[in-house]
Amino acid sequence: MADPNTTTAASGNGHALLDRDLSILAFNERVLDWAHRPEVPVLERLRYLCIVSSNLDEFFEVRAEPHVMGSLQGVSNGPFTAQSLAAVAEKANAMVTRQYALYNDVLLPTLQREGYRILSHGERNAEQRRWVRSYFQREVQPLLVPVGLDPAHPFPQVANKSLNFIVQLSGKDAFGRSNEIAILKVPRVLQRLIPLPARICDGAAAFVLLSSVIRAHLSELFPGREVGQFSQFRLTRHSDLAVDEDDIANLRTALRQGLQHRHYGQAVRLEVSANCAPKLSEFLRKEFQLPESTVYRVNGPVNLVRLMQLIDLVNAPRLLFPPYEASFPAQVPQNGSIFARLKTGDVVIHQPFESFDGVLAFLREAVTDPHVLAIKQTIYRTGSDPALMGLLREAVRQGKEVTAVVELKARFDEEANINWAEQLEAIGVQVVYGIVGLKTHAKMLLITRREGRVLRRYGHLSTGNYNRRTAALYTDISYLTADPATTLDMDHLFGHLASQSRLPKMKRLLVAPFQLHSEMLSRISAVGQAAAKGEFARIVVKTNALTDLPLIDALLAAGQKGAQIDLIVRGACALPAGVAGLSENIRVRSVIGRFLEHSRVFYFCADQDESLYLSSADWMSRNMMRRIEVAWPVRDPVLRQRIVEECLIAYLKDGRDAWDLAPDGQYHRVGITMPGPGAQNALMQRYSASPNKE
């Protein structure tokens, strides 16, 4: 039997690569490991459990549809077949089983010992049952409309990831008919986790799940009928929104219309209760036209993501990580002018160890400075934080020319970004949507300021988004510069995005889909050539994913010539590491910590030629060929060494949160056999503004 971690896809040199989808699932197994660690506070363990469930939802929404369709259509060759679906299902099912075992056998008992309980119907006392029944009749039942199936009442449309029940009934309906199957759709507006009053819990904290409340009172929804077998169920649908940009007049309008249909795409996964009668699960499977391997039986609530609410409802800081207070960036003046500071050299902000407030301070100074004439910014994922919107509104009010390049097609943020675009236009911002067919994933902020008789530019480039919430949760590098060549390149790129004019030759920036890919291939090749000559040859790449075949081929070729290569890849990695005769000089490591690794750093050294790039791009074909991305060199030797030490060396030395990829395609956590300090912990210690450091 073939190695389940490899795929029939191969590099240009014919080498079997690791399967991308299985690699994504393996990443989630590494995240799930945090939920299993007893030293992690219990509410944080629950958070990791919920994160994995959310990640799996997105995996099925985006990646599963080709496998499901290949299986349904009987495709026997290619990447998407019944066999590929079976491999995905086997790995995903095993992970889901681990999740629910951990939830039921470890996390719930641990929470109970801490004084917090989620009570099932059987665990509720008489007074609690009376309160729950009253709550059901008052808050829940008025919103429920069960549908008994018959020719006049076909199977109702079931929305993506919604909670539903299937119920088998006996007896006759009001018209003497024996329609035995009913479907109950549960509205999303209903609270999924309900606190019980302390007065009926002896002062303790207790909660009930909405699914448990409905389950206990199903018979009240079917008067005159007897409720037999039943099960909650949840359907996942393909939700990767796509529009034909060559055949639309207005992208924003087309996307808003497409959002209305997202919840009803191709079915790809069916979750039912573990004790769901085979007759009912089979009925649902056939109704949704799904292969058998897409049915997941779960021992608990069908949507663990909703348990994230418990973390806020409990309000128990002792059951969470100690709060981390990031320091204000040391290189950013808190009183003087940031513009004046940038005239002396570039500035690096290492988020979240240093605060995103440094970036907001840069924009705030631009907004309030009367000499600033124009502000240009890309917007990919901003979240709902009003701080950025408020600053841009104030900039317009003060008469500055503000341009925003809003990426409407940021996956699962389309609606938020459409709303952002409309709000920005309403306050007078010039809004553009980039280039048809290409997502604008570059993160740039450009300030134009009059200084005497000249206009001077100041820029911010980042590996992450302009989102204050995620800036506290993701590791990223913000880069502030007044370098004339870099900021001129940024200005040219903004002009290209707005006018679609030809992009002039760049002096500093590498821009995808133009020269970024070819320059990365050239850098790798140069290192390989140095290795072949016996010269020092080194590559260290930190990225979130590595799946681009030409880049993989180039890395394999350089490694075979003797180059020493370390790849710090958080998620999907298709390159097999440490394989004799193929990649014995290549090591792949994944680091999963308290914060989500998100920074992209590319280091190359060929003899005396040393270069370091920061980038918005992962090493995936979509980033290199179907997105507007940027990479920029760090030319200051002091800043370059700082980034090497903090983003590369620290992670290569991580002895706590790192996982190494073995030749068999499996990841092994290094902290189990040789425990040592974690890179993120060390950086938190270095930068924490709190006197009580972890």
Annotated catalytic residues are 441
671: CB partners within 8 A, 6+ apart: 655, 656, 657, 658, 678
The torsion angles phi and psi of 289, rounded to 5 degrees, stand at 55, 55
CA distances from 661 to 411, 483, 501, 655 (A): 29, 39, 44, 15
Tell me 541's DSSP state. E
Residues present in the chain in total: 694
Instruction: List the structure tokens of 142.
Output: 């008025």
> Among 547, 589, 551, which residue's Cα sits nearest to residue 570?
589
The β-bridge relationship of strands 116-118 and 205-209 is parallel
The rounded distance, in Å, linking the Cα atoms of 206 and 112 is: 9
- H helices of 570-673, in order, are 621-625, 637-643, 650-652, 670-673
CA distance 581 to 527: 19
Q: Which are the contacts of 14, defined by CB distance < 8 A and separation ≥ 6?
A: none
CA distance readout (Å), 35 to 117, 389, 453, 470, 669: 18, 36, 59, 21, 14
CB 593 within 8 A of CB 568: no
User: Token pair of 459, please?
Assistant: 């820029």
Number of other CB atoms surrounding residue 316 within 10 Å: 16
Distance, in Å, from the CA atom of 281 to the CA atom of 271, rounded to the nearest integer, reads 9
Cβ–Cβ under 8 Å, residues 305 and 54: yes
**CA 401 to centroid of chain Cα atoms:** 33
Contact 538, 603 (CB under 8 A): yes
- Tell me the angle at which helices 82-102 and 20-36 cross, rounded to the nearest 10 degrees: 10
Cα separation values, 250 from 257, 404, 419, 494, 562, Å: 11, 17, 15, 21, 52
Q: What are phi and psi of 8, to 5 degrees?
A: -70, -20
Element (H, E) at 683: helix 679-687
Which residues have CB under 8 Å from 312's CB, separation 6+? none
Q: Return the H-helix or E-strand segment holding 375.
A: strand 372-379
Report the distance separating Cα 595 and Cα 44, nearest Å: 12
The answer to whether 298 and 96 have CB atoms below 8 angstroms apart is: yes
Sequence-distant (≥ 6) Cβ neighbours of residue 504 within 8 angstroms:
492
